[in-house]
Amino acid sequence: MSKIDNITTVKDIDNISSLPTHLGIILDGNRRWAKEKGLKPFEGHRRGYLRLKTIALAAFDRGIKYVSAYVFSIENWDRSKEEVTYLMDLLNWVATYEINKLHKKNIKVIFLGTKEGLSPKILKSIQLAQYKTRNNTGGTLALCLNYGGQREISDATARIIKDKVKAKDITPELMSHYLYGPDLPPIDLIIRTSGEQRLSGFMLWSAAYAELKFVLKYWPAFTVKDLEEALRDYSKRQRRFGV
> Helix and strand tally (H, E) in the chain?
8, 6
As a whole number, mean pLDDT of residues 13-40 equals 88
DSSP H helices, the chain, are: 30-36, 41-62, 81-93, 99-104, 120-133, 149-162, 172-177, 224-236
Q: Is 25 helix (H, G, I), strand (E, B) or coil?
A: strand
Residues recognised as catalytic: 28, 76
The pLDDT mean for the chain works out to: 93
The pLDDT of residue 13:
44
198-226 per-position pLDDT tens digit: 999 999 999 999 999 999 999 999 999 99
The band of 16, judged by pLDDT with boundaries at 50, 70 and 90, is low
Above 70 in pLDDT, residue 65? yes
115-127 per-position pLDDT tens digit: 999 999 999 999 9
The band of 15, judged by pLDDT with boundaries at 50, 70 and 90, is low
In terms of pTM, does the model score above 0.85?
yes
Q: Give the chain's domains with CATH numbers.
A: 19-234 (3.40.1180.10)
